[in-house]
Structure 1
Amino acid sequence: MRHAATDRSLGDPPGFRLDDCSTQRNLSDEGRAQARRVGAAFATRGIPIGRVLSSQWCRCLETARLAFGGAEPWPALNSFFHDRSLEAERTREVRALVSERPATANLVLVTHQLNIDALAGVHPREGELVVLTPLGQGQVRVAGTMRP
């Protein structure tokens, strides 16, 4: 899942810190409502959630908290926008985890557009979910997308 809506006219400023949300681009009020709608849609449809992992960015953690009740921060989901040299390593880590998941377990990853594009070749909007089917050996197939 890409984090929910933010004020896209703002970027993360130079010198932002992961441990200080006031230095980052955060969810807008619409983004918070969007995340709650995602969580409600999962609950209404009875979609069981197993593990929830999130980028350490505040907008991702807040999305996960509002939609799914929380998440385990995982650096492999952190954006590599400012350092593209991290793309291959982070994508490899995520592919390894996702491709090993049993088809019956719903793993939720909350991350950034670049990360999802690198993993699945999909350019999601803010708040959009990309549903992947694990194929093993680091491979996944896009099963569909869900908009908030």
Structure 2
Amino acid sequence: MLALLLAPLWALAAEQEEQAWQALREGRALLILRHTTAPGTGDPAHFQLGNCSTQRNLSQQGREEARRWGALLRSQGIGRPRLFSSRWCRALDTAREMGLGTVQPLPALDSFFALPGNGSEQTSQLIRTINLMPPGEPLVLVSHQVNITALTRIFPASGEGLILALPLRAAPQVLARIAPPR
């Protein structure tokens, strides 16, 4: 009996996820994902933007997860999205490893973990920047947990993605939560 009650919920969830993917394909939504696995928290004290040897970087597992994201996006008909990333190496490397084309650094996606007071203004800047972009091809963003949580109030796992409706709002409509591809 329980299986009969759960079956429609599973079907509904699958339908909602497919609608979210369709909205992404059509440019009515964006995908924001937390960079893939990079062991540790925050950045070392000697962190320097642009110098990956001073930063927390992707593990081999993280690189493989990013490649699986690329395969998943291609399987969903998203082969050449507009692809933006934080300037942190672990985010840039996640975006590059997906193999989906040119990655454009976007400072509004940079981590503010070390400067939490910047979070509100940076989140507002991200929303303004995204909403000024012309509609069109699918939009994929790679950022950090702190940024995604400030925007959505959701604490994503490493490599987890959220499909958000456009235009982006201060309390965005979450169309789907996509687990890291296996």
**Which structure features the higher share of helix residues?**
2
Q: Partner residue of 2:78?
A: 47
Are the aligned partners of 1:7 and 1:25 in contact in 2 as well (CA < 8 Å)?
A: yes
Classify 1:11/1:93 alpha carbon distance in 2 versus 1 (closer, same or farther; 3 Å).
Answer: closer
Moved over 6 A (4+): none
Select the residue among 38, 51, 56 that pairs with 1:25. Answer: 56
Are the aligned partners of 2:94 and 2:142 in contact in 1 as well (CA < 8 Å)?
A: yes
TM-score by length of 1: 0.89
2:64 aligned counterpart, secondary structure: helix
Higher relative contact order (CA 8 A, sep 6+): 2
Q: Percent identity?
A: 41
Q: Which moved more, 1:95-104 or 1:127-136?
A: 95-104
Paired AA for residue 115 in structure 2: D
Largest Rg, 1 or 2: 2
In 2, Cα distance between the equivalents of 1:63 and 1:112? 11
1:37 matches 2:59 = no
Paired AA for residue 43 in structure 1: R
In 2, Cα distance between the equivalents of 1:86 and 1:145? 26
Q: Which moved more, 1:20-29 or 1:128-137?
A: 128-137
In 1, Cα distance between the equivalents of 2:42 and 2:152? 24
Q: Partner residue of 1:125?
A: 157
2:49 aligned counterpart, secondary structure: coil
In 2, Cα distance between the equivalents of 1:108 and 1:136? 13
Partner deviation per Cα, 1:69-95 (whole Å, 9 max, x = no partner):
341111111111111121111100111
Classify 1:103/1:121 alpha carbon distance in 2 versus 1 (closer, same or farther; 3 Å).
Answer: farther
Paired AA for residue 50 in structure 1: P
Residue 122 of structure 1 and its aligned partner are, at CA, apart by 1.1
Are the aligned partners of 1:32 and 1:63 in contact in 2 as well (CA < 8 Å)?
A: yes
Paired AA for residue 23 in structure 1: T
Partner deviation per Cα, 1:16-38 (whole Å, 9 max, x = no partner):
10111010000001000000000
Are the aligned partners of 2:152 and 2:171 in contact in 1 as well (CA < 8 Å)?
A: no
Partner deviation per Cα, 1:96-120 (whole Å, 9 max, x = no partner):
2334567764211100001001111
Select the residue among 108, 115, 124 that pairs with 1:76. Answer: 108
CA RMSD, Structure 1 to Structure 2 (Å): 2.0
Structure 2: give runs of 5+ residues left out of the alignment: 1-32
Classify 1:137/1:61 alpha carbon distance in 2 versus 1 (closer, same or farther; 3 Å).
Answer: closer
1:134 matches 2:149 = no
